[in-house]
Amino acid sequence: MAHIPTPHIEAKAGDFAETVLMPGDPLRAKFIAETYLEQARCINQVRGMLAFTGTYKGKEVSVMGSGMGMPSIGIYSYELFHFYDVEQIIRVGSAGAIQDDVNVMDIVIGMGASVVSSFPDQFGCPGHLAPLADYHLLSTAVECAKTLGTEAKVGNILSEDAFYSERPKDCFKKMGVLAVEMESGALYLNAARAGKKALCILTISDHLYRSEELSSKQRQEGFGKMIEIALETAVKS
Tell me how far apart the alpha carbons of residues 112 and 172 are, in angstroms, rounded to a whole number. Answer: 13
Give the phi and the psi of residue 227 in degrees, each rounded to 5.
-65, -40
Options 25, 106, 161, 206, the catalytic residue: 206
Q: Which of 58, 186, 66, 38 is nearest to 119 (CA)?
A: 186
Bridge partners for 108 per DSSP: 153, 202
Asked about 106 being catalytic, the answer comes back as no
Tell me how far apart the alpha carbons of residues 6 and 138 are, in angstroms, rounded to a whole number. Answer: 30
Put residue 33 in one of left, alpha, beta given phi > 0 → left and psi -120 to 50 → alpha: alpha
Give catalytic residues, as residue numbers.
Answer: 206
